[in-house]
A and B are shown apart, each in its own frame.
Chain A
Amino acid sequence: MESEGLKEELVSAVTNLEENKVYEIVEQMLESGENPKRIIENLRKGMTIIGDEYSKCARALCDLVMASEILKSAIRLVEPSLKMSAVTQIRGKVVIGTVQGDIHDIGKNIVISLLEGDGFSVYDLGVDVPPQKFVEKVEETNAKVVAMSGLLTVSYPSMKETVIALKRSGIRDKVKIIIGGAFVNEKWRNDVEADAYSKNAYEGVEIIKRFVGEA
């Protein structure tokens, strides 16, 4: 019963963004011998609640970013107690970058922060990334998701070229592709032949979670 109470308290501390309280409860649960996987489940439960509220416009991006930072640090506290290796704990691999000709990375960095908070292993290629770099990273990591970011409308041809490069390398069908940025829309997605588009970081992460679930 006490353990159940702590779990609820943990979820509530995450949703209230009470950073120190989250770490205290996690330490307490670890000391009492709680299964570390259950702790992580409850941390993510709190994150899911914040995400749902964000998608209903009841929260701002700021809350999501902070929750994600708290989760990353809390998971680091739990990790040493996990018997399974970190690799088996990851939810999926994502190769991400701002496409060639565009160096805006604020949106991309927020997506990375949310993905890492959600247990993804993220390979950040940085900005102004040529198509071949995406191909090489997917081949090296066997990632199932490619996320391309671009703020400018001029990033459109680069996204298209990256998809073509993935096709030429014979790995297009092995990955799901999502594009993100201020101007992306369904027409744009269709033209570049991506699998999905997203106008905001949270929605993008939700789509990536679905991709990984389908893989």
Chain B
Amino acid sequence: MDSIERVNKAINLEEPDRVPVAPLIGYEAARFFDITIEEFFVNRKKAERAYEYTIDKLGGIDMVMLPSTYIDFYSPLSPSYSLYYCDWKLPGKELSGNVMPQFNEKPIMDENGYDLLINEGLTHFLSLRKAGFWDLLKFFKAMKRNKAFYRKWFYERRVPMVSDTFTMLPFDMLALMRGLTIFLTDLYRRPEKVIEASDALIDGLIALGEFPIKGFSGKIIFQGSQQASAEIISSNQFEKFCFPYLKRMTEEFAKDGLISHLHHHGNWTPFLKYLGDFPKKKCILYLDDKTDISKAKEILGDRMCLMGNICASLLSLGTPKKVEKATKKIIDGCADGGGLIISCENPPDAQFENLKALVDTTKKYGVYRA
């Protein structure tokens, strides 16, 4: 069974030959390939070689993602990972050559911006950009490069992408534009504006996810949510400001035969119950170790594929034994019946032997009996 078939089975809540394993390879690949993060960042070809080298040395993994390099940070469309909207510090520029790009939170919209968003929708966001016509050309060049990457992995190596395109919830987008601390006070001081702006943004954000996928013939749309966790907002706030948009987005994508990769950071355990009637077999729910994945299996196991839930610091500060134990625990609790992908967002100082333990344990211990 190849990785495409294996992952498709997991998404369809069927048991493949074994549990798929998909650690999210990032800047640690530069170290394994003996180049600096700066070299990885500025030289896309080298980054792709480092990426492939790491995956081959690990003995192969079941899902891949685009190496995060400068061309992604010059996108006039991607709202968060773009220098045209946000203040990013880059390796070799503002940062030393071996530090990953870092986000410097700076509000880019004042409270009056809500009215502009309400009137103009996502196009208002585009007016905040610093990019011009020539930058759009860079963007299309990047798209071409990304398409080649996709073709190589999907068609030649038979490995699907973790996500083919990217979008985000209006909640996260507004938090990004206002700055998290100020945005949290907006939920009390001007809740109606937050809702009206979210209503105005949702169609544009759905289109942002769907538009590029047409050029890829891919089907997985990444819907990131960094801020809408139970540590940050209450269930009432989730119901009001997040849930309707998350549901709408997922349903729209499902209607078009697309898969939502719901990528949730932080503790989502109290919010899992809300996802119970999301489109069946149309979602991959990525959860980090802050959410109780056994609980997710119990509540959503017959609805969507679960992904995660290895603790990131375990890969840098732990040992292969500890990684093996953590991996087995997730497999024991969640693998039955299919619908599980073992994964982790690798920190830049992840140790190779720990990553290898993650991959090897899943491949050996995660075998389904026929």
Contact = CB atoms under 8 A, between A and B. Distances in A.
A183 B180 contact: no
A69 interface: yes
Contacts of B104: 103, 105, 127
Interface size class of A (residues with CB under 8 A): 20 to 34
Contacts of A127: 104
Contacts of B192: none
Interface of B is mostly: mixed
Nearest to A69: B185
A17 B295 CA distance: 32
Interface stretch (B46-54, B147-155, B232-240, B331-339): B232-240
B349 A153 contact: yes
B185 A65 contact: yes
A61 B187 CA distance: 12
Interface string B294-323: 000000000000000000110011000000
Interface stretch (A30-38, A106-114, A134-142, A205-213): A106-114
A131 interface: no
Interface size class of B (residues with CB under 8 A): 20 to 34
Among B185, B234, B316, residue most surrounded by chain A Cβ atoms (within 10 Å)? B185
Contacts of A106: 105, 180-181
A61 B180 CA distance: 11
B258 interface: no
Interface in B148-193: 180-181, 184-185, 187-189
Nearest to A110: B181
Contacts of B184: 61-62, 65-66
Interface of A: 17, 19, 59-63, 65-66, 69, 101-106, 109-110, 113, 127-128, 152-154, 182-183, 185, 187-188, 200
Sorted nearest first, the 4 A-B pairs with minimum C-beta distance are A183-B313, A103-B102, A60-B234, A153-B316
